[in-house]
Amino acid sequence: MTLDFEKEKLVRELKKRKPGKVLVQLAEGIKQNATEFQPVFDELGIEVIFSGETSWGACAPAVQEAEALGADLIVHFGHAEFMKLDFPIVYIEVRDILDLNPLLQKSLSKLKKYKRIGFSYSVQHRHDVEKIKKFYEKHGKQFVLSKKLGHVAYEGHIVGCQYAGLKSIEQDVDCFLILGNQFHAMGAVLSVEKPVILLDVYNNEVRELSGLRERILKQRMASIEKFRNAKNIGIITEIKPGQKFGSPTYLLEKLKEQGKNPIIITMNELSPDKILNFYNIDAFIELACPRIAIDDFAKYPRTIITFKEALVALGIKSWQQMLKIGLV
């Protein structure tokens, strides 16, 4: 076994729930490990099918897929629970087993001018949090975990669209330290104004993400400006249970009031090729993962903005109000 996951929890849950058929969802980075999970189900005589669909977050448990297959349980590997649903789901976390000491040592020079550190981590590092806290406290720092607010599973846990927990401690810290990857840190940069430093375990680097916030905000303002000139608007919703960022009917009404010509479009998963054939739509508002418009806008053939940005474009909220809440 090369992967460290909550095997005991998995076996315990399977024995307790006694499912006939299980649909397994694997986070993208562990799809390569599917064959390592199969024996756990085989040993218990449980039929298992692995979903080949994308699994970017626990916001998207494959309930419809499970129902279509007649599965009576979903086992979701690699993310922590995002929200409660009626369908039975077991979340199994996967741990990254790494020696973080060299990276923590390296971070001290970047943290010299900061005393109070706001800390968040992606879930595969949860088992290391106590060690990390002790390390920084030993070096004279105050260590403050982000609050458990919104759809995060633990204090300090970071998810790419949930930054209320960081915002809530912003006044108590001098900087934020994120253990994870660029994706999580970039969301933090857009949500808080204090400096954000990334402990990038995958590239063995410590980076202060200065300048990124201004660059992205400038780009988002440009997209909002373009959107204001658009006439035909597509409001895109996804069927994923956790990706309901805003009300399509509310937007439909507001857009009509402003003389625009909006329609609502539904998708399993938004992608640039799917919007191509809506060739007479000038701009899109996506109510799925807000990181699609923000991170991937360049891949889209037309202007695409988030729900929050649409509120700014329509004059319902000011840009400053939006920055206060956080763009993501």
Residue (of 324, 298, 296, 295) closest to 311 by Cα position: 324
Shortest spacing between CB 205 and ligand SF4, in angstroms: 22
Shortest spacing between CB 60 and ligand SF4, in angstroms: 6
Q: 125 vs 5, 76, 128, 156, 285, CA distance in Å?
A: 12, 17, 6, 11, 34
CA dist 107 and 85 (Å) reads: 40
160 or 180: CB nearest ligand SF4: 160
156 or 242: CB nearest ligand SF4: 242
289 or 314: CB nearest ligand SF4: 289
Distance of CA 201 to the CA centre of its chain: 18
Shortest spacing between CB 292 and ligand SF4, in angstroms: 8
Shortest spacing between CB 139 and ligand SF4, in angstroms: 32
CA dist 276 and 49 (Å) reads: 32
Identify the bridge partners of residue 305 per DSSP, sorted by sequence position: 285
156 or 160: CB nearest ligand SF4: 160
220 or 291: CB nearest ligand SF4: 291
59 or 235: CB nearest ligand SF4: 59
CA dist 190 and 184 (Å) reads: 10
Shortest spacing between CB 58 and ligand SF4, in angstroms: 6
Shortest spacing between CB 242 and ligand SF4, in angstroms: 6
Shortest spacing between CB 223 and ligand SF4, in angstroms: 18
Shortest spacing between CB 247 and ligand SF4, in angstroms: 16
201-233 in b/e form (b: 16+ CB < 10 A) is beeeebbebeebbeebbeebeebbebbeebeeb
111 or 161: CB nearest ligand SF4: 161
19 or 78: CB nearest ligand SF4: 78
46 or 185: CB nearest ligand SF4: 185
| Site for ligand SF4, rule CB under 6 A | 56-57, 59, 159-161, 242-243, 289, 291
CA dist 317 and 304 (Å) reads: 18
Shortest spacing between CB 240 and ligand SF4, in angstroms: 8
Tokens of 76: 């979701």
Side-chain half-sphere exposure of 295, counting CA atoms within 13 A: 15
